[in-house]
Amino acid sequence: MTNDLLYQVALTLIPNIKCVHAKALIEHFGTAENILKAKTKDLSAVENIGLIKAAKIKSFEDFKQAEEEIKFIEKYKIQSLFITDKNYPQRLLNCYDSPTILYYRGNADLNISKIISVIGTRSNTDYGKQATENLVSELKELNIIVVSGLAFGIDVIAHKSALQNNIQTVAVLAHGLQMIYPHQHKTLAKEIALNGGLLTEFRNGIIPDKFNFPQRNRIVAGIADATVVIETAVKGGSMITAELANNYNRDVFALPGRTTDSKSTGCNYLIQNNKAVLFTDAKELMESLGWQSKKINKKQQKELFIELSEDEKIIISILKEKDNTHIDEINMRSNLNSSSVAAAILSLELQNVIGSLPGKMYKFL
């Protein structure tokens, strides 16, 4: 057990310190240990913290609960992913309410270049089942992760289809890893853990309370490049997830259906109100996301590199590390001001060295 992990878990146990507060504190103090050892006046000076929250931090003493959580993690070989860890899902960092810590049981790389979330109603139709299976099977040529929430209906169809097509799949849970909900999916969850992973921000002992599901849904929306809504009514968890994905500047796709079908009313609403792109097959989706391979003129590219400015070289070095990179990450990692980044990106696009993708993402060509 390390002191780092002890303080990291402890930070999530402090009353009234939510993810947005923890994120601001970490940006200011650097580590969880520094936060818990900081002076009240220094804590209260951080934006949106104030004296009341600072006092909550200073009065925290329940390290025993944090130690118990660490024992559970170690016993069941669970990975803890703190927000500053390199293995933490980097896409979530672009979300204002990034989870402070995640608990992960699996082997999939959560920073793989292509991740898609497939969601929908718990009471799907045959139309929705077939559409989900077709979509997932057509993605098998890509090195991709399929994410969903392990719920009945579209979620479980997406997970099973991924496994059948040898695609890694990750289930995001609304409870701690001491259990599986619904319990009928316990065997499936074991298979997912071996061919992808089980992911949650809830510690051991937390049960699937109804308030946990919207909180879970923001991870489903934020961890992926795009969210595909297969079937849903106008109200429900899938609509919440789609709204969250839009708020995070992620691409949202929806499967259209007949106006008389209750399970398609939500998808039709998203499309009609420009909150989702109409989705009919995987090929369209891949083209929209820029996931189809392109032939690059290497000779032309080599000639262009000779004339790159220092700022452009910095941008290129960042984009070379993975397929798709968000503009926020480019701004953060380049240490350039936003106007310099914008100018460099525009120049590189004009030279056909980089390409822009939906959701303010960029890729090296």
Residue 332 included in any domain: yes
Q: Which two tokens stand for residue 355?
A: 């390409």
Q: Residue 10: which pLDDT band, with cuts at 50, 70 and 90?
A: very high
- Do 156 and 241 share a structural domain? yes
Q: Give the pLDDT score at 2.
A: 61
What is the rounded CA–CA span in Å between residue 284 and residue 24?
39
| CATH number of the domain that residue 342 is part of | 1.10.10.10
DSSP structure string for 62-82: -HHHHHHHHHHHHHTTPEEEE
Q: How many Å apart are CA 207 and CA 217, to the nearest integer?
A: 16
Whether 279 maps to a domain, the answer reads: yes
Q: What is the pLDDT of residue 277?
A: 94
Residues 154, 52 within the same domain? no
Band (280; pLDDT cuts 50, 70, 90): confident
Give 313-351 pLDDT, tens digit per residue: 899 989 888 778 888 889 888 888 888 888 888 888 877
pTM: 0.80
* Token pair recorded at residue 111: 């920073």
Mean pLDDT of the chain, nearest integer: 91
Task: Please give the average per-residue pLDDT across 234-246, as a whole number.
Answer: 94
% of the chain at pLDDT higher than 90 = 73
Instruction: Please state the domain count of the chain.
Output: 3
Evaluate whether residue 75 is within a structural domain.
Answer: no
- Looking at the domain assignment, is residue 94 inside a domain? no
| Same domain? 118 vs 265 | yes
What count of residues does the chain have?
Answer: 365
Report pLDDT digits (tens) over 110-130.
999 999 999 999 999 999 999
pLDDT tens digits along 181-231: 999 999 999 999 999 999 999 999 999 999 999 999 999 999 999 999 999
Least Cα distance to 250 among 293, 214, 216, 289 occurs for: 289
Query: Contact 296/259 with Cβ under 8 angstroms?
Result: no
Is position 285 within any domain? yes
pLDDT at residue 1, rounded to an integer: 47
Return the residue matching tokens 């923890």.
22
> Looking at the domain assignment, is residue 98 inside a domain?
no
Domain check: are 198 and 261 in the same one?
yes
155 and 269 inside one domain: yes
Name residue 313's amino acid: K
Q: Say how far residue 303 (Cα) sits from the centre of its chain.
A: 37
Of 108-117, 184-193, 287-296, 350-359, where does mean pLDDT reach its minimum? 287-296
CATH value at residue 280:
3.40.50.450
Residue 141 Cα to chain centre, angstroms: 22
* Alpha helix (H) residue ranges in 209-326: 212-222, 237-247, 265-272, 282-289, 298-305, 310-319
Whole domain around residue 33: which residue ranges? 1-67
For the record, the structure tokens of 103 come out as 């608990």
